[in-house]
């Protein structure tokens, strides 16, 4: 059974909100330079979308 497109849209919105919350207070350069937070956070968020 396939999910409706609206569910995927909700997943994308949720993911974007989490990214904004997590990166609050960082500049883009600071976030990208800190590999201890950048890579694990990206992987965790991507896993949760499945």
Per domain, the residue ranges of the chain are 5-48
Rounded distance between C-alpha atoms, residue 19 and residue 11, angstroms = 12
- Is the pLDDT at 50 greater than 80? The verdict is no
Mean pLDDT of the chain: 79
As a whole-number percent, the residues of the chain with pLDDT over 70 amount to: 86
From 16, 38, 17, 36, select the one nearest 27 (Cα to Cα).
Answer: 38
- Is the pLDDT at 32 greater than 80? The verdict is no
pLDDT at 1: 58
What does pTM read for this prediction?
Answer: 0.53
Lowest average pLDDT, out of 8-12, 15-19, 20-24, 37-41, goes to 37-41
CB-based contacts of 22, cutoff 8 Å, min separation 6? 41
Cβ(19)–Cβ(45) below 8 Å: yes
């Amino acid at each position: 059974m396939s999910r409706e497109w609206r569910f995927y849209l909700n997943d994308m919105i949720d993911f974007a909100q989490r990214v904004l919350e997590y990166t609050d207070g960082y500049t883009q350069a600071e976030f990208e330079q800190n590999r201890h937070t950048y890579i694990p956070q990206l992987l965790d968020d991507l896993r949760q979308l499945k």
